[in-house]
């Protein structure tokens, strides 16, 4: 295909081998926007240049490696073979008539694939890496029309080679042996020989099967031919050249084995000049399209995969981070604006991005820029990560005699450029995050808890700083969701990630399926959240993201709110499942934005309601007891309305000594306006505000009397905090820093109202806005006002008389041997009343923490006893429900 790509602005890959000054506009990377990573100045030293190889007068367009060799494809028609031990040129493989654009190594077969760009017939040469002899040619379907072959990738699982072509097709060939065909695998009739595969009919051989005796290079006839049949071709796979391919799971050297969501289903990822990344299922012989990512930043020139995450290098200097499971764009990293990203490599969780300006950048799993260096004097065209045998410090240098057994293995990054250089850089794998390691890193001062599955899992869970309110931790939140989905899957649940949007963390949906029976099983939906609040400050006695065990308590951010309860529910269901005693379905719905307003939660639940399935009851564990020793069950929550009020003048900030007394100050207006919300008896002044509030019953009065004796708090205080509405002014801010002489031009206040049964959320929200606007209008101020509702959550009141509550109360009583206290909470959990309405069933709230657990504060903790006995309560509850609730 000579007339070019459907995206004509994408430069031909071969042009990168020419002088960069003539062909590319290179931008600098000195000022990368701070929004795209935490540390814009590299935090680590660049890697050491271990060795350089010179490919004379030939740009290095492609590189590959096996145990003994490094292979480099040239702008000419040769493949240089370099010895890994001596770094000397061993030989040059000749078999192409054009530039060698792609190389790929198949370790199981010990084959090297090479693809070229040529004005004649395109072909893929297959070489033996043991003999360095050509084995055979793989010709693409319609070889004269396929054009240049830009990309190769080998899928070890099925022994299949996929390649991307200039004519926008993706084709594949397999090394799987096939049976001899009596017609197609016949010799000429005059030879009178039995049909066999060695007949090598070039127009019909579909399998890549080498001859029994490999032909010698450059002697006699060339290697035998195989032809890709039309059924192995995806026509018009893209609307542009297919520049890059990767397979999932990846078997590339240096990419650690990250567990995937669907390991049984391989996938092909392709990047093209049409600025899209496509994901193809390989569950069938012909790949089928699953999803298309619109990247929007020019051609996709490089892709690399780790687990379910795809990194796509774009023509305009961006790397798009894509999540295969949720089908979302996780992040856009600016490597170098308007500078093509031509190659990507990974070493475990570190990404190495190679640019057309000769620079390489290293990015961590949290998308921090940790290294940046000028690697080549021209364009970096290719890269791989491979292992290298390096002498120990007390052994002879490479190339000298010595004991090879005393060598040690390490990783190197091999890069090739249009400066005719191959650079070999010493690189080290990043230290794995605690939740990715196989052994617990808990600080256990008074007990060995590593054998406790629940505590061990919690230690991994806590190690992930999933702080949803901090944009710097967005990737940590996603990693927490990925880890949680894997963990629940290992415990026996069927688990998924559900996207809530590109700017919010995914939901984790996991279902523990109970035993099959002829009757419908109860289905209990547990709602929780895996995000936490910030853990800043010096008041922590230990690292907040390392689980520490001291004096019977587990310390760490999130242990009580809400990671500990999540693990208790999961392990309770898993233990019952293991004992074949789970007679209910336990559905876990876990969000990652609860501490930040639950963005996208309600919309996603509504959208995925069929996938969640029918629900008979909702269970929550997201609060604490009112004391230390007596277990509680929460049966009520207040609702909340958050309101923002802004009063502004039309002019700038002023000086009080110059203009004080001559202007109407926004701060004065704000103070007077906020003062109208509360009367002299500290009651809210909104019209009809208290009309719907339920009166205190004799039963409640007696309950508060009992509770006040337990915690030594007046019953009136408990009533005021739990079942009466309130109004709070949280802060008043100005446009300037605190200064005793400035009249601020704009003042903003945040106000909240806590509502109770049976107040109407929408009515009070409207009444609050109307009151503020109408009262301000009567002040006849020249200033302007803006009032907005930023967040709302309805009140919730449980049903103390239904069988679900009785089953939970019985479980607590049986485990602890005491009557549980029935309590309410003054705070709000927006998702609880929403889920009740959405699934038309009652909710239950079982707190596991104690009153001194410091949720949201330094040294957050949970009692080890509470965690373990809470798990036992949950097991009893599930059993009670299965045996006593009639559906």
When mean pLDDT is compared across 330-339, 437-446, 519-528, 838-847, the lowest value belongs to: 437-446
Residue 851 tokens read as 């009153």
In 166-236, DSSP assigns E strands to 170-174, 224-227, 233-234
Whether the ω angle into residue 561 lies within 30 degrees of 0, i.e. cis, is no
Q: Give the DSSP letter of residue 245.
A: E
What interhelical angle do 864-884 and 803-816 show, nearest 10?
140
DSSP-derived pairing of the beta strands 654-655 and 742-743: antiparallel
When mean pLDDT is compared across 114-118, 559-563, 638-642, the lowest value belongs to: 114-118
Q: How confident is the model at residue 157 (pLDDT cuts 50, 70, 90)?
A: confident
CA distance 296 to 298: 6
Residue carrying structure tokens 């192995």: 232
* 458-637+796-884 maps to CATH 3.40.630.10: yes
Which residues are CB-contacts of 86 (< 8 A; sequence separation ≥ 6)? 398, 399
Which residues are CB-contacts of 655 (< 8 A; sequence separation ≥ 6)? 741, 742, 743
Greater confidence (189 vs 811) lies with 811
**Integer CA distances (angstroms), 175 to 71, 108, 202, 275, in order:** 22, 11, 15, 32
Query: In the prediction, which pLDDT does 20 show?
Result: 30
Examine the pLDDT at 402 and tell me if it is beyond 50.
no
Examine the pLDDT at 9 and tell me if it is beyond 50.
no
10 Å Cβ neighbour count for 9?
A: 9
Strand partners, 510: 495, 588
What mean pLDDT do residues 663-685 have?
95
Query: In the prediction, which pLDDT does 838 show?
Result: 96
Examine the pLDDT at 545 and tell me if it is beyond 70.
yes
3-class DSSP assignment, residue 206: coil
What mean pLDDT do residues 650-679 have?
93
Q: b vs e for 661-691, b when ≥16 Cβ sit within 10 Å of the residue's Cβ?
A: eebebbebbbeebbeebeeeeeebebeebee
Query: In the prediction, which pLDDT does 84 show?
Result: 94
* 13-29+39-427 maps to CATH 2.130.10.10: yes
Examine the pLDDT at 283 and tell me if it is beyond 90.
no
Q: What angle do CA 466, 498, 792 make, to 5 degrees?
A: 70
Residue carrying structure tokens 């939970």: 808
Q: Give the DSSP letter of residue 615.
A: -
Residue carrying structure tokens 């959320």: 761
Q: How confident is the model at residue 263 (pLDDT cuts 50, 70, 90)?
A: low
Please give the distance of CA 704 from its chain centroid, rounded to a whole number.
46
Q: How confident is the model at residue 224 (pLDDT cuts 50, 70, 90)?
A: low
Mean pLDDT for all residues in the chain: 85
Query: In the prediction, which pLDDT does 7 show?
Result: 36
Query: In the prediction, which pLDDT does 632 show?
Result: 96
Query: In the prediction, which pLDDT does 809 show?
Result: 97
Q: How confident is the model at residue 62 (pLDDT cuts 50, 70, 90)?
A: very high
CA distance 672 to 668: 6
Residue 101 tokens read as 């654009």
pLDDT tens figures, 415-435: 999 999 999 999 999 887 777
User: Domain ranges in the chain?
Assistant: 13-29+39-427, 458-637+796-884, 639-690+725-793
CA distance 291 to 324: 9
Query: In the prediction, which pLDDT does 39 show?
Result: 42
- Give pairs for 114-122: CB < 8 Å, separation 24+: 114/62, 114/73, 114/79, 115/149, 115/150, 115/151, 115/152, 115/163, 116/77, 116/148, 116/149, 117/13, 117/14, 117/147, 117/148, 117/149, 117/150, 117/166, 118/148, 122/146, 122/147, 122/148, 122/149, 122/165
DSSP for 175-192 reads ----PPPTTTTPPPGGG-
What interhelical angle do 864-884 and 453-462 show, nearest 10?
110
Examine the pLDDT at 23 and tell me if it is beyond 50.
no
CA distance 673 to 146: 74
Among 414, 415, 389, 424, smallest CA distance to 403 is for: 389
CA distance 886 to 386: 62
Examine the pLDDT at 204 and tell me if it is beyond 60.
no
Q: How confident is the model at residue 444 (pLDDT cuts 50, 70, 90)?
A: very low
Query: In the prediction, which pLDDT does 140 show?
Result: 86
Strand partners, 641: 753, 792
Query: In the prediction, which pLDDT does 771 show?
Result: 97
Whether the ω angle into residue 249 lies within 30 degrees of 0, i.e. cis, is yes
**Integer CA distances (angstroms), 332 to 226, 275, 821, in order:** 41, 14, 50
Greater confidence (35 vs 733) lies with 733
pLDDT tens figures, 640-659: 999 999 999 999 989 888 98
Q: How confident is the model at residue 16 (pLDDT cuts 50, 70, 90)?
A: very low
pLDDT tens figures, 284-324: 888 999 999 999 878 999 999 998 899 999 998 999 999 89
Query: In the prediction, which pLDDT does 427 show?
Result: 95
Query: In the prediction, which pLDDT does 587 show?
Result: 98
Q: What angle do CA 343, 76, 303 make, to 5 degrees?
A: 15
Strand partners, 351: 346, 363
Q: Are 481 and 464 in contact (CB under 8 A)?
A: no
Fold designation for 639-690+725-793:
Alpha-Beta Plaits (3.30.70)
Examine the pLDDT at 34 and tell me if it is beyond 70.
no
**Integer CA distances (angstroms), 480 to 260, 506, 701, in order:** 14, 10, 44
Strand partners, 313: 302, 319
Query: In the prediction, which pLDDT does 191 show?
Result: 61
10 Å Cβ neighbour count for 105?
A: 23
Query: In the prediction, which pLDDT does 393 show?
Result: 52
3-class DSSP assignment, residue 370: strand
Q: How confident is the model at residue 14 (pLDDT cuts 50, 70, 90)?
A: very low
pLDDT tens figures, 812-869: 999 999 999 999 999 999 999 999 999 999 999 999 999 999 999 999 999 999 999 9
Residue carrying structure tokens 């508060």: 704
Query: In the prediction, which pLDDT does 4 show?
Result: 36
The torsion defined by the Cα of 740, 746, 752 and 758, in degrees rounded to 10, comes to: 140
Query: In the prediction, which pLDDT does 659 show?
Result: 87
Query: In the prediction, which pLDDT does 649 show?
Result: 94
Whether the ω angle into residue 314 lies within 30 degrees of 0, i.e. cis, is no
Helices (H), 733-783: 761-778
Examine the pLDDT at 801 and tell me if it is beyond 50.
yes
Please give the distance of CA 61 from its chain centroid, rounded to a whole number.
32
Strand order in the sheet with 726-734: 726-734, 746-755, 639-648, 784-793
Q: Are 629 and 707 in contact (CB under 8 A)?
A: no
Query: In the prediction, which pLDDT does 519 show?
Result: 82
HSE-CB at 209 with a 13 A cutoff on CA atoms is 18
Query: In the prediction, which pLDDT does 627 show?
Result: 87
Which residues are CB-contacts of 576 (< 8 A; sequence separation ≥ 6)? 582, 875, 878, 879
| Percent of the residues in the chain that have a pLDDT greater than 90, as a whole number | 64
Examine the pLDDT at 21 and tell me if it is beyond 50.
no
Q: Are 362 and 350 in contact (CB under 8 A)?
A: yes
Query: In the prediction, which pLDDT does 120 show?
Result: 59
CA distance 358 to 680: 72
CA distance 663 to 795: 43
Residue 687 tokens read as 């019209």
Among 790, 774, 791, smallest CA distance to 673 is for: 774
CA distance 489 to 512: 9
> Do 13-29+39-427 and 458-637+796-884 have matching folds?
no
Greater confidence (54 vs 18) lies with 54
Greater confidence (183 vs 745) lies with 745
In 418-565, DSSP assigns E strands to 421-427, 443-444, 494-498, 507-512, 523-529, 548-550, 553-555
What mean pLDDT do residues 168-182 have?
69
Query: In the prediction, which pLDDT does 28 show?
Result: 30
């Amino acid at each position: 295909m000579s007339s070019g790509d459907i995206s004509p602005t994408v430069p031909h890959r071969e042009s990168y081998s020419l002088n960069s000054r003539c062909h590319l506009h290179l931008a600098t990377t000195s000022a990368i926007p701070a929004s795209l990573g935490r540390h814009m100045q590299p935090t680590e030293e660049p890697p050491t240049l271990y060795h350089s190889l010179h490919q004379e007068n030939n740009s290095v367009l492609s590189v590959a490696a096996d145990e003994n060799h490094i292979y480099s494809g040239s702008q000419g028609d040769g493949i240089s073979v370099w010895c890994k031990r001596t770094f000397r040129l061993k030989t040059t493989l000749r078999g192409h008539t054009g530039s060698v654009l792609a190389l790929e190594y198949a370790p199981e077969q010990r084959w090297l694939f090479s693809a070229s760009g040529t004005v004649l017939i395109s072909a893929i040469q297959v070489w033996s890496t043991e003999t360095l002899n050509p084995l055979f040619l793989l010709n693409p379907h319609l070889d004269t029309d396929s054009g240049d072959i830009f990309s190769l990738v080998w899928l070890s699982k099925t022994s299949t080679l996929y390649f991307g072509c200039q004519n926008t097709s993706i084709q594949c060939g397999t090394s799987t042996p096939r049976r001899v065909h009596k017609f197609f695998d016949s010799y000429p009739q005059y030879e009178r020989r039995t049909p066999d595969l060695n007949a090598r009919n070039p127009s019909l051989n579909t399998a890549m099967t080498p001859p029994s005796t490999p032909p010698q290079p450059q002697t006699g006839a060339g290697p035998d031919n195989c032809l890709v049949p039309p059924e192995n071709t995806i026509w018009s796979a893209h609307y542009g050249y297919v520049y890059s391919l990767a397979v999932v799971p990846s078997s590339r050297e240096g990419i650690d084995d990250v567990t995937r969501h669907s390991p049984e289903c391989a996938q092909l990822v392709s990047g093209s000049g049409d600025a899209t990344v496509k994901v193809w299922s390989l569950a069938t012989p012909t790949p089928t399209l699953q999803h298309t990512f619109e990247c929007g930043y020019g051609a996709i020139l490089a892709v690399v995969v780790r687990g379910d995450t795809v990194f796509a290098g774009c023509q305009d200097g961006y790397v798009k981070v894509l999540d295969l499971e949720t089908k979302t764009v996780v992040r856009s990293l600016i490597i170098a604006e308007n500078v093509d990203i031509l190659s990507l490599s990974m070493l475990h969780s570190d990404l190495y991005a190679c640019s057309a300006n000769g620079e390489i950048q290293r990015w961590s799993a949290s998308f921090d820029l940790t290294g940046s260096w000028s690697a080549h004097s021209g364009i970096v065209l290719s890269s791989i990560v491979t292992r290298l045998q390096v002498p120990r410090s007390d052994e002879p240098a490479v190339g000298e005699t010595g004991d090879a057994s005393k060598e040690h293995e390490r990783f190197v990054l091999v890069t090739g450029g249009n400066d005719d250089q191959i650079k070999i850089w010493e690189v080290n794998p990043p230290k794995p995050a605690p939740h990715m390691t196989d052994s617990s890193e808990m600080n256990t001062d008074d007990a060995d808890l590593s054998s406790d599955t629940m505590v061990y899992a919690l230690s991994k869970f806590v190690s992930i700083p999933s702080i949803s309110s901090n944009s710097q931790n967005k990737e940590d939140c996603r990693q927490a969701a990925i880890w949680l989905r894997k963990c629940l899957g290992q415990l026996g649940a069927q688990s998924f990630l559900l996207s809530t949007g590109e700017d919010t963390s995914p939901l984790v949906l996991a279902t523990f399926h109970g035993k099959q029976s002829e009757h419908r099983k109860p289905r209990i939906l547990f709602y929780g959240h895996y995000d936490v609040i910030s853990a800043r400050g010096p008041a922590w006695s230990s690292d907040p993201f390392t689980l520490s065990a001291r004096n019977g308590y587990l310390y760490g951010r999130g242990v009580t709110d809400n990671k500990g309860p999540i693990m208790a529910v999961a392990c309770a269901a898993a233990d019952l499942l293991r004992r074949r005693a789970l007679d209910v379905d336990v559905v876990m719905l876990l969000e990652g934005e609860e501490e930040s307003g639950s963005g996208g939660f309600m919309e996603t639940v509504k959208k995925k309601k069929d996938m969640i399935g029918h629900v008979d009851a909702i269970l929550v564990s997201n609060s604490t007891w009112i004391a230390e020793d007596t277990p509680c069950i929460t049966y009520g929550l207040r609702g909340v309305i958050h309101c923002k009020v802004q009063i502004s003048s039309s002019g700038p900030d002023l000086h009080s000594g110059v203009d004080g007394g001559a202007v109407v100050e926004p701060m004065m207006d704000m103070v007077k306006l906020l003062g109208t919300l509360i009367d002299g008896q500290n009651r809210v002044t909104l019209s009809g505000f208290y009309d719907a509030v339920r009166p205190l019953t004799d039963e409640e009065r007696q309950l508060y009397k009992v509770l006040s004796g337990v915690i030594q708090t007046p019953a009136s205080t408990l009533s005021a905090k739990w079942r009466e509405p309130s109004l709070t002014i949280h802060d008043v801010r100005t446009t300037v820093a605190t200064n005793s002489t400035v009249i601020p031009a704009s003042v903003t206040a945040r106000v909240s109202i806590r509502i109770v049964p049976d107040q109407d959320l929408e009515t009070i929200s409207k009444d609050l806005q109307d009151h503020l606007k109408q009262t301000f209008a009567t002040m006849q101020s020249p200033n302007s006002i803006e009032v907005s509702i930023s967040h709302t959550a309805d009140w919730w009141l449980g049903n103390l008389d239904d069988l679900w509550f009785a089953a939970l109360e019985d479980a607590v009583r049986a485990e602890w041997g005491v009557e549980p206290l029935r309590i309410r909470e003054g705070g709000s959990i927006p998702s609880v009343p929403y889920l009740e309405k959405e699934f038309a069933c009652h909710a239950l709230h079982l707190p596991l923490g104690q009153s001194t657990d410091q949720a949201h504060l330094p040294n957050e903790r949970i009692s080890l006893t509470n965690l373990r006995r809470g798990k036992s309560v949950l097991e009893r509850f599930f059993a009670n429900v299965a045996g006593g609730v009639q559906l």
